[in-house]
Amino acid sequence: MEKLLALYRKYREPINYLIFGGLTTLVSLGAYALFVEACGLGILAGKALSWVCAVTFAFITNKLWVFFSAGKDAKTILREALGFFASRAATGVVEFAGLPLLMRLGLDQPLFGVEGFAANIVVTVVVIILNYILSKFLVFRKKKDA
């Protein structure tokens, strides 16, 4: 057990990112399925609304429990939120373009009875990787010591 704790301490940030990234993915996929199946929205509208839900959840968890951003003042929170949402908007373009592109390329079969779900999973994996890079090196980067 001590070895596991030591590994966790050493790799806390990427482990927490994967955990909360997984939860963010569940929020996104669950919201997508809800909006498309339960609400009857089209795949792009469902994707847009699920994206808003997931990005909001991701900002809170990344700030507090992944990158442990110490900034609590309004200016820092606003800067981080704007940077976070802007970086997510950039990767959102990847999602919005990638989903129909993958469906046109043949990944259009339903999964679990939900249209576009398989393509949505593939796009989501690519976006998770891009989001980590942008969050770590742009949004929540640590200030260098003077």
pLDDT in tens, the chain (146 residues): 899 999 999 999 999 999 998 899 899 999 999 999 999 999 999 988 998 999 999 999 999 999 999 888 999 999 999 999 999 999 989 988 999 999 999 988 888 888 888 898 899 889 888 989 999 999 998 776 43
**Comparing C-alpha atoms, which of 64, 78, 29 is closest to residue 49?**
29
The pLDDT value recorded for residue 146 is: 39
Contact 104, 143 (CB under 8 A): no
Rounded to 5°, the CA angle 60-123-120 comes to 90
